[in-house]
Amino acid sequence: MLPGSYKNKQKTMNPNAPTSVLWHWLARPRRSLVARYTLLSVVVMSIALIALAIFYEQLAKDLLNRLTGERLDAQALSTANRLSSFLDDRFYQLSALSNHPNMPDFITDQSRSSSDVDSLLKLEGDLPFLYGVLFFDEHEQLLNVLPGQAASGEPYWTNSQWSVAGLPSTRVGDVEVIGPLLPKAGRSGGLLIRKLIRSGRTDHGASIALHLRLASLTELLVSAGMSGVVAPLLRVPGGVFIDPTGRVVAPPTQWREGPQILPGWQLVFSVQPGAILEPLNDARQWLYWVAASFIGFILIVFFTLSRQLRARVSTLLQGAHQLSMGDLGYRLAEQPHNDEIGHVARAFNVMAERLARVMENTVRSENLAVLGTFATGVAHEVRNPLATMKTTVQALLRREQEPERRMLLSDLGQEIDRLSHVTSDLLEYGRPHPAQPRAVDVAPLFERIARQVAADSQAHNIELRCCTEPGLQLYVDPEQAQQVLLNVCLNALQASPDDQMVHLRAEASGERVRITVLDRGCGISEADLQQVRQPFFTSKARGTGLGLSICQQLLEANAARMEIVSTLGEGTQVTLDFPGLSARAK
């Protein structure tokens, strides 16, 4: 809420009214926006809940007595266990028959029937839940039927062609569940469980099936459900619903899914909402009026607050518009409220600053790419003439006898060497080589650096003191890492006065290794510190300004970072953050 609008609201409200006091308490400027909305919602909803609790207290008791979810879940689990146990027993019974050693001979020549197979089949056929035992050939044609005690209708007492073609089929392991065969006039419902007949590990193509009563399975549903409220059903393949008596029923309007018995066979509960909601019908109209009143009040309150919020959001929209127009220097004014809008405004300013830096870095990268291409071209054009000049000077120097001219030719050769070094730096900057990282021991690397800078350090009586933790390893290109360290150490030696000391240290930092080069030399000014990594920037009389630029390229190629901290007149600390060998393993 804007300060001006808040003052106007104070003028128009009566401070002595209770609603005005509540409004001022909720709309305090220091209270966050979410807190105001939350407090207001809590007050409104508390009143609504108190009113609703009075109406529903008695009704809730009645609902708890009629329906409890935990009881229904327990019944569903118990019923599913009974159904699964029944089917598991039938699967075991079928496996015993299909794996009987004399069963293949019985199928091949039933005239030479085996007494043990006959006895076993007759025993199984007398079970009340079994219509009979069926035998099929490899083409799923019916070979033979053995009627059981409950056998009726096809295929037992008729000679018509009977087939399972077109019936739903699912597999449970090596058992095929076929059906269900839905009940109709002259036929009871059933299902088949079929399995190939085996002798050892040999399949004989023929199969044996148990023709089960569908009602024997659905009768296990009787104890589930709640009278008048919830009725158990069995949903079978094809989306058909079957009641506990084994008859097909119409799909219920509302149901709750239970556990799955077999693929496509699921226990469901038909819910009769009328028996539950009937006690609520008398109070429904009153509840509608009460709820509508509360909703109207909430809409009025939120409309008032949203109008105040719109004024503050318009400031954010103005900032986004300015940013989209390319004004990266636009910043939102400091918000007087420490709420969500204030947080968004500060986040917007941070985003604008970062976006400006990203754009600046992008432009800088493009400029450096163009500069690198230009530097490479210049180096190529200059290198060959320099080589010719060097050869000519060396030839003249061998023939010249006069000391003064020999000195001039020698100086000229040194200048040619310096220009050749500059062109080499230009080529390396404009055409860097890709890194080939591998494990590098820090201690031997420090020893090589110390030997390479020994001449410069001894000339000025400067000691390079190396210190590293034992066993430290980098995962970098060894030549590029050596070039970076050599350049940084030479800069430290050149910046240090005589009889001083330069420290070269290495230590582990998590999965990375930090190498620090510290000198007590002249230091770098704040203005120069922002430009030391720019190409061709140098404070040395005969420097090329490419040393740290090349180092920066090599560090980026090896996933490393460089940080420079310096105080003018006190010294400089350069920290190189390299990936360690453990980071590479991950």
pLDDT of residue 532 exceeding 90, the answer is no
For 52, 140, 542, the CA distances from 162, given in Å and listed in that order, are: 64, 11, 105
For 114, 376, 421, the CA distances from 382, given in Å and listed in that order, are: 106, 10, 11
442 and 420, same domain (yes or no)? no
Q: If you average pLDDT over residues 185-193, what whole number do you get? A: 84
Alpha helices in 67-194 (DSSP H): 69-98, 103-108, 115-125
pLDDT tens digits, 17-51: 555 655 565 555 555 555 566 667 667 767 776 77
pLDDT of residue 540 exceeding 80, the answer is no
State how beta strands 230-236 and 265-271 pair: antiparallel
Structure letter (DSSP) for residue 255:
E
For 64, 146, 389, 410, the CA distances from 395, given in Å and listed in that order, are: 111, 117, 10, 11
- Which is more confidently placed, 137 or 583? 137
Q: Determine the pLDDT at residue 531.
A: 67
User: Residue 192: what are its φ and ψ, rounded to 5°?
Assistant: -115, 140
pLDDT of residue 549 exceeding 70, the answer is yes
DSSP 489-509: HHHHHHHSPTT-EEEEEEEEE
What is the residue range of 20's domain?
Answer: 3-62+281-323
* Most confident of the following: 198-207, 237-246, 428-437, 521-530: 237-246
* The domain boundary residue, chosen from 323, 346, 381: 323
In a domain, 161, yes or no: no
pLDDT tens digits, 555-572: 888 888 888 888 888 888
559 and 463, same domain (yes or no)? yes
* Most confident of the following: 75-89, 96-110, 367-381, 427-441: 75-89
Q: Determine the pLDDT at residue 187.
A: 77
Going by pLDDT thresholds of 50, 70 and 90, the confidence category of residue 5 is very low
State how far the Cα of 508 lies from the Cα of 506, in Å rounded to an integer: 7
Helix (H, G, I), strand (E, B) or coil at 390: helix
Candidates 153, 134, 161; CA nearest to 145 is 134
Give residue 17's Cα distance to chain centre: 54
Q: CB-based burial of residue 224 (10 Å sphere; 0-12 exposed, 13-18 middle, 19+ buried)?
A: buried
Angle at 465 between CA 460 and CA 466, to 5 degrees: 140
State how far the Cα of 580 lies from the Cα of 507, in Å rounded to an integer: 10
Going by pLDDT thresholds of 50, 70 and 90, the confidence category of residue 66 is low
Q: If you average pLDDT over residues 406-425, what whole number do you get? A: 72
483 and 580, same domain (yes or no)? yes
418 and 351, same domain (yes or no)? yes
Lowest mean pLDDT among 54-58, 153-157, 230-234: 54-58
Q: H/E element holding 44? A: helix 33-66
Angle at 13 between CA 8 and CA 18, to 5 degrees: 145
Q: Tokens at residue 137, please?
A: 């050939």
In a domain, 533, yes or no: yes
Buried b or exposed e, range 389-424, using 16+ CB within 10 angstroms = bbeebeeeeeeeeeeeeeeebeebbeebeebbebbe
State how far the Cα of 330 lies from the Cα of 322, in Å rounded to an integer: 7
574 and 453, same domain (yes or no)? yes
In a domain, 151, yes or no: no
pLDDT of residue 241 exceeding 90, the answer is yes
In a domain, 534, yes or no: yes
Candidates 458, 449, 552; CA nearest to 506 is 449
Helix (H, G, I), strand (E, B) or coil at 147: strand
Helix (H, G, I), strand (E, B) or coil at 177: strand
Cis peptide before 155, with omega less than 30 degrees from 0? Answer: yes
* CATH number, domain containing residue 391: 1.10.287
Q: Determine the pLDDT at residue 319.
A: 82
How many domains is the chain built from?
3
State how beta strands 501-509 and 463-468 pair: parallel
Alpha-carbon dihedral angle through residues 270, 275, 280, 285, given to the nearest 10 degrees: 80
Give residue 418's Cα distance to chain centre: 55
Angle at 32 between CA 31 and CA 33, to 5 degrees: 120
Q: Determine the pLDDT at residue 96.
A: 86
* The domain boundary residue, chosen from 431, 454, 479: 431
Q: Tokens at residue 562, please?
A: 């460089």
Q: Determine the pLDDT at residue 270.
A: 82
Q: Which residue has the tokens 């609520």?
A: 280
pLDDT tens digits, 426-473: 666 556 667 788 899 999 989 988 888 888 888 888 888 899 888 888
371 and 358, same domain (yes or no)? yes
pLDDT of residue 15 exceeding 70, the answer is no
In a domain, 306, yes or no: yes
In a domain, 272, yes or no: no
pLDDT of residue 308 exceeding 90, the answer is no
Q: Determine the pLDDT at residue 526.
A: 77
Q: Tokens at residue 419, please?
A: 């220009």
* The domain boundary residue, chosen from 431, 454, 485: 431
Q: Tokens at residue 496, please?
A: 């240090």
Q: H/E element holding 405? A: helix 403-430
450 and 575, same domain (yes or no)? yes
In a domain, 417, yes or no: yes
Q: H/E element holding 452? A: helix 442-452
For 176, 378, 380, 431, the CA distances from 384, given in Å and listed in that order, are: 85, 11, 7, 18
State how far the Cα of 341 lies from the Cα of 316, in Å rounded to an integer: 9
332 and 310, same domain (yes or no)? no
- Which is more confidently placed, 535 or 521? 521
Spatial neighbors of 582 by CB under 8 A, at least 6 apart, are 511
pLDDT tens digits, 255-272: 888 889 899 899 988 876
Spatial neighbors of 10 by CB under 8 A, at least 6 apart, are 24
What's the chain's Rg over C-alpha atoms?
Answer: 46
Q: Determine the pLDDT at residue 11.
A: 43
423 and 485, same domain (yes or no)? no
Amino acid identity at 457: S
Provide the percentage of residues in the chain whose pLDDT is more than 90: 7
Going by pLDDT thresholds of 50, 70 and 90, the confidence category of residue 368 is low
Strand ranges in 115-249 using DSSP code E only, listed in sequence order: 130-136, 142-147, 169-172, 175-181, 190-199, 202-213, 230-236, 240-242, 248-249
User: Residue 278: what are its φ and ψ, rounded to 5°?
Assistant: -60, -40
539 and 509, same domain (yes or no)? yes
Going by pLDDT thresholds of 50, 70 and 90, the confidence category of residue 380 is low
Angle, helices 33-66 vs 340-399, to 10°: value is 120
Q: Determine the pLDDT at residue 455.
A: 82
* Most confident of the following: 284-288, 309-313, 315-319: 315-319
Candidates 138, 118, 131, 119; CA nearest to 90 is 131
Q: What pTM did the predictor assign?
A: 0.41
Q: Which residue has the tokens 């709640």?
A: 226
* Partner residues linked to 233 by β-bridges: 268
State how far the Cα of 586 lies from the Cα of 582, in Å rounded to an integer: 7
466 and 453, same domain (yes or no)? yes
pLDDT tens digits, 282-304: 666 677 677 777 777 776 777 77
Q: If you average pLDDT over residues 6-12, what whole number do you get? A: 42
- Which is more confidently placed, 121 or 586? 121
* CATH number, domain containing residue 464: 3.30.565.10
Q: Determine the pLDDT at residue 36.
A: 67
In a domain, 468, yes or no: yes
* Partner residues linked to 267 by β-bridges: 234
* Partner residues linked to 513 by β-bridges: 508, 578
The number of residues making up the chain comes to 586
- Please count the other Cβ atoms lying within 10 Å of the Cβ belonging to residue 540: 11
412 and 443, same domain (yes or no)? no
pLDDT of residue 329 exceeding 60, the answer is yes
